[in-house]
Chains A and B, each alone.
Chain A
Amino acid sequence: AQTVTQSQPEMSVQEAETVTLSCTYDTSESDYYLFWYKQPPSRQMILVIRQEAYKQQNATENRFSVNFQKAAKSFSLKISDSQLGDAAMYFCAYRRRNNDMRFGAGTRLTVKP
């Protein structure tokens, strides 16, 4: 079974600074998708960014970008110019085929003013 590991249960960053959240996954497949979801205290799961495994170019969404290392099975999330509203739980997720999405245990990000 595919597994997703987030090795940092908690991280903190100073407002306006940059932080990187780590994620590794285990798979023998070559075609799959990776996601980062944000879960603020409201509990709503919000998609932050998505990466297709067949694309070498790293995905970027405004202040959020990923470092996708397919050979190393690593998918880290970089948040630039951190804002107070970025404080949340962040979940990395892997999806290979229909309806089979696996989540990591999450990283709690604190943003210090």
Chain B
Amino acid sequence: NAGVTQTPKFQVLKTGQSMTLQCAQDMNHNSMYWYRQDPGMGLRLIYYSASEGTTDKGEVPNGYNVSRLNKREFSLRLESAAPSQTSVYFCASSETGTAKNIQYFGAGTRLSVL
């Protein structure tokens, strides 16, 4: 039962470098999400994909891009990393995007930007 799998688990970048965080789910869910978690704060939504082929901005989208590659995979890209993007990133999925559906989370990626 893999659920939601994120890679890598840890990453260190220099300012200005780019990278892509990968996320895959095996629950046949339609909706997928990217969050960031900063110290002393709850998770904040960066982008989401309600269904394959669609993506939309969340609360804090600046500095990020996403790709819903297929139903299983949803990637998050940092084109030019900044120290303010140091955070723990979580991917999640749910059966659909309606409010009642439970979101299932991956184990997170800890990203440090120096």
Chain A interface (Cβ < 8 Å from any Cβ of B)? 4, 32-33, 35, 42-47, 50, 52, 91, 93, 95-106
Chain B interface (Cβ < 8 Å from any Cβ of A)? 31, 33, 40-45, 48, 50, 56, 58, 88, 90, 92, 97-100, 102-105, 107-108
Q: Report chain A residues within 8 Å CB of B90.
A: 45
Which of B48, B104, B105 is in CB contact (< 8 Å) with A99?
A: B48
Shortest distance between the CB of A9 and any CB in chain B (Å): 8
Residue pair B45, A47 in contact (C-beta under 8 Å): no
Residue pair A96, B102 in contact (C-beta under 8 Å): no
Residue pair B45, A43 in contact (C-beta under 8 Å): no
List 6 additional A-B contacts (Cβ < 8 Å) besides A45-B43, A46-B105. Answer: A45-B105, A98-B97, A98-B98, A99-B48, A102-B42, A105-B41
Q: Which residue of A lies closest to B42 (CB)?
A: A103
Measured between alpha carbons, how far is A105 from B90 in the docked complex, in Å?
A: 15
Residue pair A50, B102 in contact (C-beta under 8 Å): yes
Q: Which residue of A lies closest to B92 (CB)?
A: A45
Residue pair A47, B102 in contact (C-beta under 8 Å): yes
Measured between alpha carbons, how far is A102 from B100 in the docked complex, in Å?
A: 14
Residue pair B42, A32 in contact (C-beta under 8 Å): no
Q: Knowing A43-B88, A52-B100 are in contact, say whether A99-B31 is a contact too (CB < 8 A).
A: yes
Q: Which residue of B lies closest to A91 (CB)?
A: B42
Q: Report chain A residues within 8 Å CB of B33.
A: 99
Measured between alpha carbons, how far is A90 from B58 in the docked complex, in Å?
A: 22
Can you give 17 A-B contacts (C-beta < 8 A)? A33-B100, A42-B107, A43-B107, A44-B105, A45-B43, A45-B105, A50-B102, A91-B42, A91-B43, A95-B99, A99-B50, A99-B58, A100-B45, A101-B103, A103-B43, A105-B40, A106-B42
Residue pair B42, A44 in contact (C-beta under 8 Å): no
Q: Report chain A residues within 8 Å CB of B42.
A: 4, 91, 93, 102-106
Q: Which residue of A lies closest to B97 (CB)?
A: A98
Q: Report chain A residues within 8 Å CB of B99.
A: 32-33, 95-98, 100
7 smallest beta-carbon distances between A and B, as pairs: A103-B42, A45-B105, A98-B97, A43-B108, A99-B48, A103-B43, A95-B99
